[in-house]
């Protein structure tokens, strides 16, 4: 750890140079500095990121470079929102936004971008909207999801969708569109014409979109452009956070708390509320069975679950589930009675695990009981939610560090099973740190053997991956570089010097490892 700090402090000067290049628009120099390995997502002492500086100063080439090299413009974060609204020109703003929401339905994309993308579906099979709102022009309508409108505003709290439509008959398409876009977190603040403000404020008040009306009122009375843009930046971030809180509340009140227990009841007598008129207006039901055989159904939404590949495929591929779903959808559009419902069963796990996954899919929550982390990774693997896998892996490695001992082998297994490299590395590092305690452990031998067998399925067969990893972490354990090893030969007589460097301890550990390998007949 101390080494990391050293490295980062060593790079500090270069980072300031990078910031300077971003201000001046020196693409070549910025490119050079980035290639030295600077973390381009840090901030300087005024809390400005390189991306923000480049967008503010209007250097579109530098902005492009930074984005290509992995600069994060995550509108969910304050920093990302600042970039979007601080951008000097529309070109830069569009570029930033396109980098943020360009990948529609990418299961890795974070919260706000996913929600925005729900309005831009391209595949008809993925038209998950269940709410049609007409406006002044009768031929045109805006489509949305009931649950989202419900979660974000009070519009559907006391009125049915048809009553809702009555309210909008006087509203123009543009204003209605803006309102829906706001609900779906599309960054509309800079592009809304001030002529739409009165109507928007009226609507916002009506639906208790307090933060929007608050913003609009303030914005209307602000003249200074700098202040204006500050306002936009602050509020867009607020909106995202608000949406997150609202969705959190929605999930808790209307999904988790409205689960249906079916373990004691005969399956045929379970009554499920009408999904079309009752909150939370679900279009998919998740069935979960826990380890003691209790079963629960969670009413959910494909729109949100589709962040995970499994749920996306289940609807978009042409199988039975798709048939069921389409039948329901057309029935609902045509206002015909229909009793089809889409049930999807998850592998056996605790309810808490299922809920953790639901929380993640709805509002990006990574806040779950570390005890569930193992199962969350497995479940995430099952539903193909890779980002959740890495998040859960981080939870494991952070919360368990230093406290686990033999658990490490389970973690390694889990890493192999689910393909999370971070877990493999973590385990190797742990083993390297605790080699002395573990050297007699039967499990260590078994797992090295297992790792060696995994080789056969790989193309490159020269090393046992685990052993190579352990050797690597042994070096860092004693704060050594590969080059230092030559000292072992050149300065073999100066034992004191070698001891002070930690080379002798390192040598001892390596010998321990080699002994184990010899016993296993794996030495080479």
User: Binding of another protein at residue 294 (CB under 8 A)?
Assistant: no
Q: Which of 310, 394, 439, 455 binds another protein (CB under 8 A)?
A: 310
Burial class (CB in 10 A: 0-12, 13-18, 19+), 193: exposed
HEC-encoded secondary structure of 223-234: CCHHHHHHHHHH
Beta bridge partners of residue 343, listed in sequence order: 285
Binding characters for another protein, 118-157, by CB under 8 A (x = yes): ----------------------------------------
Q: Looking at 174-182, 308-316, 430-438, 506-514, which segment touches another protein (CB under 8 A)? A: 308-316
Question: Could you say whether residue 158 binds another protein (CB under 8 A)?
Answer: no
- Per-residue binding string, another protein, 443-472, x by CB under 8 A, is --------------xxx-------------
Q: For residues 370-399, which are near another protein according to CB under 8 A?
A: 382, 384
> Tokens representing 290?
């826990």
Query: Can you read off the two tokens belonging to residue 375?
Result: 């199962």
Pick from 114, 146, 259, 295 the residue near another protein by CB under 8 A.
295
DSSP letters along 377-438, please? HHHHHHTT-HHHHHHHHHHHHHHHTTT-STHHHHHHHHHHHHT-HHHHHHHHHHHHHTHHHH
Joined together, the tokens standing for residue 99 give: 């980098």
Please check whether residue 19 is in contact with residue 46, taking contact to mean a CB–CB distance below 8 angstroms. Answer: no
Which one among 343, 398, 443, 499 touches another protein, defined by CB under 8 A? 343
Tell me how far, at minimum, the Cβ of 145 lies from another protein, in Å.
17
User: According to the binding rule CB under 8 A, does residue 345 interact with another protein?
Assistant: yes
| 8 Å CB contact between 394 and 425 | no
In degrees and rounded to multiples of 5, residue 300 shows phi and psi of: -130, -175
Using the minimum distance from each CB to another protein, give the nearer residue, 242 or 455.
455
From the list 318, 403, 486, 490, which residue makes contact with another protein (rule: CB under 8 A)? Answer: 318
If one asks whether residue 276 binds another protein (CB under 8 A), the answer comes out as yes
d(CA 192, CA 228): 13
Q: By CB under 8 A, what part of segment 36-65 binds another protein?
A: none
Candidates 26, 74, 100, 321: give the one binding another protein (CB under 8 A): 321
Measure the CA angle with vertex 506, ends 500 and 508; round to 5°. Answer: 110
Among the listed residues 2, 122, 162, 264, the single contact to another protein using CB under 8 A: 162
How far apart CA 520 and CA 57 sit, in angstroms, is 62
CB burial of 484-511 (b: ≥16 within 10 Å; e: otherwise) equals: beeeeeeeeeeeeebeebebbbbeebbe
* Residue whose CB is less far from another protein, 209 or 383: 383
Structure tokens at 63: 């902005």
Q: Which of these ranges, 25-33, 69-77, 341-349, 425-433, lies near another protein under the rule CB under 8 A?
A: 341-349
Among 277, 453, 476, 499, binds another protein (CB under 8 A): 277
Q: Pick the piece of the chain touching another protein (CB under 8 A) from 142-150, 247-255, 334-342, 505-513.
A: 334-342
- Alpha carbon distance 307, 304 (integer Å): 6
Q: Judged by CB under 8 A, which of 25, 58, 347, 352 binds another protein?
A: 347
Distance CA 173, CA 190 (A): 18
Which parts of this chain interact with another protein (CB under 8 A)? Answer: 160, 162, 262, 267-274, 276-277, 287, 289, 295, 297, 309-310, 313-314, 317-323, 335, 337, 339, 341, 343-345, 347-348, 382, 384, 417, 419, 457-459
């Amino acid at each position: 750890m101390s080494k990391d700090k050293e490295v980062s402090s060593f790079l500090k000067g270069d980072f300031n140079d990078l910031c300077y290049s971003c201000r001046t628009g020196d693409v070549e120099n910025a490119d050079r500095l980035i290639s030295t390995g600077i973390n381009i997502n840090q901030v300087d002492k005024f809390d400005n990121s390189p991306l923000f500086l480049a967008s503010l100063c209007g250097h579109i080439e530098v902005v492009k470079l930074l984005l290509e090299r992995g600069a994060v413009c995550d509108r969910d974060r304050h920093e990302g929102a600042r970039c979007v609204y601080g951008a000097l020109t529309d070109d830069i703003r569009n570029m930033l936004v396109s980098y943020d929401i360009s990948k529609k339905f990418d299961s890795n994309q974070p919260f706000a971008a996913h929600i925005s993308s729900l309005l831009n579906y391209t595949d008809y099979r993925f038209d998950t909207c269940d709410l049609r709102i007409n406006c002044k022009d009768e031929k045109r309508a805006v489509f949305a999801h009931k649950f989202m409108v419900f979660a974000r505003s009070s519009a559907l709290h006391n009125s049915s969708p048809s009553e809702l439509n009555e309210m909008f008959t006087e509203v123009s398409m543009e204003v209605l569109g803006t309102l829906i876009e706001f609900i779906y977190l599309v960054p509309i603040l800079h592009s809304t014409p001030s002529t739409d403000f009165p109507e928007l404020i009226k609507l916002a008040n009506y639906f208790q979109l307090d933060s929007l009306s608050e913003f609009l009122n303030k914005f209307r009375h602000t003249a200074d452009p700098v202040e204006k843009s500050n306002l936009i930046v602050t509020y867009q971030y607020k909106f995202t956070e608000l949406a997150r809180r609202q969705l959190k509340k929605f999930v808790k009140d209307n999904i988790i708390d409205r689960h249906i227990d079916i373990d004691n009841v005969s399956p045929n007598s379970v009554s499920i509320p009408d999904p079309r008129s009752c909150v939370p207006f679900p279009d998919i039901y998740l069935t979960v069975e826990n380890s003691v055989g209790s079963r629960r159904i969670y009413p959910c939404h494909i729109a949100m679950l589709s962040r995970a590949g499994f749920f996306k495929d289940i609807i978009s591929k042409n199988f039975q589930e798709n048939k069921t779903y389409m039948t329901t959808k057309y029935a609902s559009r045509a206002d015909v009675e229909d009793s089809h419902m889409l049930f999807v069963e998850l592998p056996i796990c605790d309810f808490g695990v299922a809920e953790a996954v639901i929380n993640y899919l709805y509002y990006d929550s990574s806040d779950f009981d570390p005890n569930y982390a193992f199962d969350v990774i497995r479940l995430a693997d099952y539903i193909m939610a890779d980002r959740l896998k890495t998040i859960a892996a981080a939870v494991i490695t952070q919360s368990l560090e230093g406290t686990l001992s033999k658990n490490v082998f389970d973690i390694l297994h889990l890493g192999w099973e689910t393909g999370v490299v971070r877990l493999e590395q973590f385990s190797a590092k742990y083993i390297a740190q605790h080699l002395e305690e573990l050297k007699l452990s039967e499990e260590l031998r078994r797992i090295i053997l297992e790792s060696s067998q995994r080789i056969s399925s790989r193309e490159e067969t020269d090393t046992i991956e685990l052993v190579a990893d352990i050797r690597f972490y042994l070096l860092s354990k004693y704060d050594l570089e590969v080059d230092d090893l030559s000292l072992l030969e050149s300065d073999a007589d100066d034992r004191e010097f070698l001891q002070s460097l930690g080379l002798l301890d390192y040598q001892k550990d390596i010998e321990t490892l080699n002994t184990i390998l010899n016993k296993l007949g794996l030495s080479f």
